[in-house]
Chains A and B, each alone.
Chain A
Amino acid sequence: MGRMKTAEYPTVAGLFLIVGGFLPPAVHGQVPVPDVNQVMDYIDDLYRSQSAYSLMRMTVVRERGTRELEMESWSKGDDEALIVIRSPAREAGAATLRTEEGLWNYAPRADRLIRIPSGLLSESWMGSHFTNDDLMRETSYLDDYDAVIGTEVRDGVTYLKATLKPKPDAPVVYSELVFLITTEDWIPVRSEYFDEGELVRAWAFDQIQTISGKKIPMRMTIIPVDAPEEKTVVEYLELELDVPVDENLFTRQGLRRAARG
């Protein structure tokens, strides 16, 4: 799940190779605007680091009712991630595998994988308000977007505001992405997704904890604008960064093992 989150952020790896806990400079008085790539890279690495393990609870609130899922996730590097649903029983064992080659769902009842075609990237993931693209992030913020950074005051607080606009021929769904980030610790507070100038969904981040020396929001809430009474909430019950993760986990066999375990 950590993978899913970080997947939302621009991948600027390769431009700035900042290994390990890069700490933002302390800022006093007037807010100087830091380099946009540094900020986005920091955010990008927030939940992921070199590798990550997490246990999450996802609550999907729909018009017709609320579902609660518990999931385990592992990730390694930029491209490898595995999410396995542990409960409820009806869905336990369902999993999503992401590798460099693509995205697969694992059907536990069938004990088979099914490839998720790229045409379905904007579709819902497991009935939540996440999209497959949130997991897959085939589009690259660095390649497909132009980013600018500034500041914005909301509710009396000054935040860094990163605005990402797609480059002319980019194969992206959204027309603009906005990230609000605290000026002191570079903690994401809110991200907003626009389509043709209209806000279509927003993510809110809260419940900040310090994990591996980084201040990280442990709860995320996705609110679709067209259905404001609905939401998907993801809470990290456990989050471990830079822990050893078995390389074989991100293969079909590894997935089966993890899903049945």
Chain B
Amino acid sequence: MISAKVGVRNLARNRWRSGLTLGGIALSVAFMVWILGFMEGWMGAMVQGATAVETGQVQVHTTAFADNPRVYRSFPADNDVLSTVTSVRGVVAVSPRVKLNGLIGHEEKSQVGRILGVDPMMEARTTPVSTALEEGRWLQQTPPVYPAPREVVLGAGMANQLRVGPGDELVVFVEAADGSMGNDLLEVVGVVRTANTAVDRMTAYMHIEDARFLAALDNDAHELAIKTEDLLGAQMTAGLIAAALGAETRGVPLEAGGSGGEGLETQAGGRQDPDALLVRPWQEILPSIYQMLTISRSSNWVTYLLIYLVAAIGLLNTQRMSALERKREFGVLMAIGMRPRKMFRMILTESVVLGTLGGLIGTTLGLAVVWYHATAGLNLAMFTDQGEFTVMGVAFTGRIYAILTPLAALQPILVMMFVAFLAGLWPAVKSAKLDPAPTIAGRQ
């Protein structure tokens, strides 16, 4: 305990120097706290933007459709299946979808688009698409009676490309499940602008019944889009859904959902059957986004290295200088019987105290900034001319909100304490090895 006391007193001797070192450490820690908090928010927004509208957090397809989406690779999505999925823990909502590729347009212009046949209410519960309306309204729960045109809601980019808006008519041509060409007349009832470029540029939403008729699909669907309670728990929820449906999963066997052996069996057996259902979390559906997330997590350590290296060198310099200044003093201490180990501990304590104190100040500072950006957000769009920028198919228009996590609050200071310990080792070893006589005499 005496070493801590002496250590703190020693630090107070050269206030300027200690203060500056402390400041450097505090800023480094504050910066890391902010980086972690901001990256968490950014990645969250990224995954949210990529999964919320387009995919949901978990999806179910037939194995064959997942490998190569063809119109006839559908499966019966009856109420039994839907209620089985809905009853799984962690599932918020489920939306059966018919996914078609076809030509949409009119006499002057047309383009290849992706037609999503959805149940208007279930889709609205699963994704925020119905709240992203720029013009018009969302699909009615009951499709209009023939010969009235079928309702369609277009992505904003597609509406713009075809130069249509609510009230305009469109024609659609798709290859149906039986190989024939389905065609129908559509009326644009709404235009949506989501943050997802795939949706905005090429998606047309129709009532699932209309899409089934168009593609000769009876009561089938191609996809179940599932909204889960939280993003990171999607893998576990996918495992539970697969167990409930008797479906398979891919990737690493999960802890959740039945025994590992059972899971492997269905996996091996199911691969042969193209009609078997496959349940995948967003991490598997959007591997590029997931990879980016993983890379950004590990790239935090590179940031740590760069920022903390500078702080550590400053700390090392301070400690070494102060040890050199007090060499004679140390010599005397040793001469009157201080054990080298105690000497070592004293110097090291100084270093760790500096790191901890700086870390506390830095964490406080960093948390304050993160708190500000978590509530007020940070407007990244101000750095672009268009007021919007797109990363991996996710358009960011507004602010990005930092997220305050325990990791961001605790990790930077703990890492800094460890770094301070390392930085103190060398001066401490050096001081502990002093030979009292020549040191006091000034010969060493």
Contact = CB atoms under 8 A, between A and B. Distances in A.
Interface stretch (A87-95, A208-216, A238-246): A87-95
Q: Give 9 closest A-B pairs by Cβ, nearest first.
A: A110-B185, A107-B183, A114-B171, A112-B171, A107-B171, A110-B171, A113-B107, A67-B179, A114-B105
A115 B185 contact: no
Given A107-B184, A110-B184, A116 B110 contact: yes
| Interface of chain B: mostly helix, strand, loop or mixed | strand
B284 interface: no
A117 interface: yes
Contact of B107 (A67, A112, A120): A112
Contacts of A90: 180, 216
Among B112, B169, B183, the most chain A Cβ lie within 10 Å of the Cβ of B183
Interface of B: 72, 103, 105-112, 149, 169, 171-173, 175, 178-181, 183-186, 216
A24 interface: no
Contact of B171 (A64, A67, A113, A117): A113
Nearest to B186: A110
Given A60-B179, A65-B179, A116-B103, 20 more contacts: A64-B179, A65-B178, A67-B179, A90-B180, A91-B180, A91-B181, A94-B181, A94-B183, A104-B107, A107-B173, A112-B169, A112-B171, A113-B106, A115-B109, A115-B110, A117-B109, A117-B111, A119-B112, A127-B175, A252-B107
Contacts of A137: none
A115 B180 contact: no
A64 B216 CA distance: 15
B179 A62 contact: yes
Contacts of A115: 105-110
Interface in A55-69: 60, 62, 64-65, 67
A111 B186 CA distance: 11
Nearest to A119: B112
Contacts of A112: 106-107, 169, 171, 185
A51 interface: no
19 contacts: A65-B178, A65-B179, A67-B179, A91-B180, A105-B183, A107-B172, A109-B183, A110-B183, A110-B185, A110-B186, A112-B185, A114-B171, A115-B106, A115-B107, A115-B109, A117-B111, A120-B112, A127-B180, A252-B107
